[in-house]
Chains A and B, each alone.
Chain A
């Protein structure tokens, strides 16, 4: 099967104040037919620029973009046959909803009766059939975004591009539309390329994600894999709410039996990890808030004071301060009897923590490997 979308060493540079800045830096990746592929990252990481290059709205400084093995690098937007949904929705204000959705078909010169049929079908799919004769301004934000999606899919494009489509909506609607878009993806036969700064959207919707940092993809993987096996400290702390706790740890101990020491705890290393850490004096250790457990004193790695607890309903998010003054977070089912100010004994889940290179942030070890306490 051919690759639906291929980025081949794609670079986009801008010149600002005489300096050349690479918004997207030598990015290469393949997206398979039918995938829900998400570019996620903080603002300025190059994710939107990448999407706009795929759409043809931005030129490519160097490299190639291929749809179905066809080079489209120099093909104009209108000839790429894509569907696109924009962050600010961008419906045509002077047209009815019907005309908005039908616009791509009208431009393509389809007969009116056929357009009407397809518009009805798209509206039905998005449950906006009763809004067809209205104007965009008469609709709520969520309904407008549905119309924008309808306009993007009515031509049944092979590639559907969505640029932060939910960020203009309020929280509740966002969750609703997330499900809606997923359902749509199952029903239409299109490859979806999605851009968001919201890691929850990226994690919940995508078949694969690219974590973008400074114009490069720090990691391209399934959401599960990105969460469990982050390749960089930056990826690990970006994905997951609340963010991963990270400590500076000293590599000490006897030769042949090294331990990590820091944050008031001592963690023994397995033979494999010891080999990976050979030659390091300092490393960074990352533990997800949910991989910290409240335990009896004799099982604890370190103790900390409970500063604040935020009930999430089923679980609580606890803000803790360790003996050396580090703020950390713990998520779990905490006994109701624990009040703020209490002293807690905490253990690190040996099956789920990461070790990162102290300078490059590259993961030297990540979760799901056995480890024993010192």
Chain B
């Protein structure tokens, strides 16, 4: 009896979730599988047919100097933006957790960059950092800090740091929100206990704040790491990978194979490469940091 009941219940559950499962399959998993399978075909945008080539696309890709250069830039970009966001989040999270004047207004304002469309941010920063009309260069020049305007997005050396700061600024508020939420859930008694043990401000930070933030910081690093490694839109809007490939990260590189060379097979092989890298990254993360602890609040 119990078994039939359970079986019937199981059937009901399956029937109930089937529609959304099927939908998910059609709109999410099938395209992914199609994209992955493309990596093993010679597929041009101009030919309807496709030809099985096995690992030839992968071999070609791995032999490209540009591929490895783009990979290096992606790593720099990811580390840079994630690091920037963590620092940004930590600084403003800690600041907004203090009893400072105008805190609630500041808390609302800090989320603003996150709400702006990427295209707006891209265009605005191109203006702000413009070597001829940009306000940043104006300020730096008039204050005497520099003699000549800096070509932030156009200079080979300045482009990558400028892109990193712009992207980090856009997504930093996400880190602020998570860190602030976690800070507010720390039992204030822990700080009082630490102080009664003789701990000053710095020790309180090291022994109470940081251990409590550890999982949150790791979570931000993982989520943002994945997003930043895949980041395409803002870079494309501002520099399109230039000047001279200075900001050509893996997604930009793959985009160019797909829509400049129109070679979908090789582009798909590039996607598979990103996929594998992120899979590896996540695996290491879940292996070494207990993910169930991410959401656990220790008091």
Residues of A near any B CB (own CB < 8 A): 55-57, 76-79, 81-84, 86, 88, 90-95, 103-104, 107-108, 137, 148, 151-152, 155, 161
Using Cβ atoms and an 8 Å threshold, which residues of chain B touch A103? 194, 197, 199, 207
Chain B residue with the shortest CB-CB distance to A56: B195
Contact of A93 among B195, B198, B203, B298 (CB under 8 A): B298
Using Cβ atoms and an 8 Å threshold, which residues of chain A touch B194? 92, 103
> 11 A-B residue contacts at CB 8 Å?
A77-B192, A81-B198, A84-B193, A92-B211, A93-B211, A93-B298, A94-B211, A94-B214, A95-B211, A107-B198, A152-B196
Chain A residue with the shortest CB-CB distance to B211: A94
**By the criterion CB–CB under 8 Å, are B207 and A93 in contact?**
no
User: Complex Cα distance A77/B189, Å?
Assistant: 13
At the interface, yes or no: B212 with Cβ under 8 Å from chain A? yes
Given contacts A77-B192, A77-B195, 10 further A-B contacts (CB under 8 A): A77-B196, A82-B196, A84-B193, A90-B187, A92-B211, A94-B211, A94-B298, A95-B211, A148-B193, A152-B196
At the interface, yes or no: B280 with Cβ under 8 Å from chain A? no
At the interface, yes or no: B140 with Cβ under 8 Å from chain A? no
Using Cβ atoms and an 8 Å threshold, which residues of chain A touch B187? 88, 90
User: Complex Cα distance A105/B299, Å?
Assistant: 23
Contact of A86 among B193, B200, B298 (CB under 8 A): B193
User: Complex Cα distance A161/B196, Å?
Assistant: 10
Contact of B193 among A56, A76, A92 (CB under 8 A): A92
User: Complex Cα distance A84/B190, Å?
Assistant: 12
At the interface, yes or no: B150 with Cβ under 8 Å from chain A? no
At the interface, yes or no: B136 with Cβ under 8 Å from chain A? no
At the interface, yes or no: B258 with Cβ under 8 Å from chain A? no
Chain B residue with the shortest CB-CB distance to A102: B197
**By the criterion CB–CB under 8 Å, are A151 and B197 in contact?**
yes
At the interface, yes or no: B220 with Cβ under 8 Å from chain A? no
**By the criterion CB–CB under 8 Å, are B196 and A92 in contact?**
no
At the interface, yes or no: B208 with Cβ under 8 Å from chain A? yes
**By the criterion CB–CB under 8 Å, are B299 and A86 in contact?**
no
* Least distance between B126 CB and chain A CB atoms (Å): 45
User: Complex Cα distance A256/B195, Å?
Assistant: 64
* Least distance between A315 CB and chain B CB atoms (Å): 40
**By the criterion CB–CB under 8 Å, are B193 and A55 in contact?**
no
Interface residues of B in 191-225 (CB under 8 A from A): 192-200, 203, 207-208, 211-212, 214
**By the criterion CB–CB under 8 Å, are B198 and A104 in contact?**
yes
User: Complex Cα distance A171/B157, Å?
Assistant: 70
User: Complex Cα distance A79/B194, Å?
Assistant: 12
User: Complex Cα distance A187/B183, Å?
Assistant: 39
User: Complex Cα distance A38/B214, Å?
Assistant: 40
Contact of B192 among A57, A107, A148, A151 (CB under 8 A): A57
Q: Main secondary structure on chain B at its contact with chain A? A: helix
B193, B198, B199, B207, most chain A CB atoms within 10 A: B198
**By the criterion CB–CB under 8 Å, are A78 and B198 in contact?**
yes
B190, B195, B197, B203, most chain A CB atoms within 10 A: B197
Using Cβ atoms and an 8 Å threshold, which residues of chain B touch A94? 211-212, 214, 298
A79, A103, A155, most chain B CB atoms within 10 A: A103
User: Complex Cα distance A148/B198, Å?
Assistant: 15
**By the criterion CB–CB under 8 Å, are B192 and A86 in contact?**
yes
**By the criterion CB–CB under 8 Å, are A90 and B199 in contact?**
no
**By the criterion CB–CB under 8 Å, are A108 and B192 in contact?**
no
**By the criterion CB–CB under 8 Å, are B190 and A78 in contact?**
no
**By the criterion CB–CB under 8 Å, are B298 and A137 in contact?**
yes
User: Complex Cα distance A57/B211, Å?
Assistant: 23
User: Complex Cα distance A95/B203, Å?
Assistant: 14
Using Cβ atoms and an 8 Å threshold, which residues of chain A touch B192? 55, 57, 77, 84, 86, 90
**By the criterion CB–CB under 8 Å, are B198 and A108 in contact?**
yes
Using Cβ atoms and an 8 Å threshold, which residues of chain B touch A90? 187, 189-190, 192-193
**By the criterion CB–CB under 8 Å, are A88 and B197 in contact?**
no
Using Cβ atoms and an 8 Å threshold, which residues of chain B touch A76? 195
* Least distance between B191 CB and chain A CB atoms (Å): 9
User: Complex Cα distance A90/B187, Å?
Assistant: 8
**By the criterion CB–CB under 8 Å, are B208 and A84 in contact?**
no
* Least distance between B212 CB and chain A CB atoms (Å): 7
> Interface readout for B159-203 with A: 1 if CB under 8 Å, 0 if not?
000000000000000000000000000010110111111111001
**By the criterion CB–CB under 8 Å, are A155 and B189 in contact?**
no
**By the criterion CB–CB under 8 Å, are A92 and B190 in contact?**
yes
User: Complex Cα distance A90/B214, Å?
Assistant: 19
User: Complex Cα distance A298/B212, Å?
Assistant: 73
Using Cβ atoms and an 8 Å threshold, which residues of chain A touch B198? 78-79, 81, 104, 107-108, 155
Chain A residue with the shortest CB-CB distance to B299: A93
7 tightest A-B CB contacts, nearest first: A84-B196, A93-B298, A94-B211, A104-B197, A90-B189, A77-B195, A90-B193
**By the criterion CB–CB under 8 Å, are A83 and B196 in contact?**
yes
User: Complex Cα distance A148/B190, Å?
Assistant: 11
Using Cβ atoms and an 8 Å threshold, which residues of chain A touch B190? 90, 92
Using Cβ atoms and an 8 Å threshold, which residues of chain A touch B193? 84, 86, 90-92, 148, 151
Using Cβ atoms and an 8 Å threshold, which residues of chain A touch B203? 107
Chain B residue with the shortest CB-CB distance to A109: B198
* Least distance between A373 CB and chain B CB atoms (Å): 56
Contact of B196 among A55, A91, A95, A108 (CB under 8 A): A55
User: Complex Cα distance A50/B299, Å?
Assistant: 25
User: Complex Cα distance A320/B190, Å?
Assistant: 49
User: Complex Cα distance A84/B199, Å?
Assistant: 13
User: Complex Cα distance A84/B214, Å?
Assistant: 27
* Least distance between B215 CB and chain A CB atoms (Å): 10
Chain A residue with the shortest CB-CB distance to B200: A78
* Least distance between B197 CB and chain A CB atoms (Å): 4
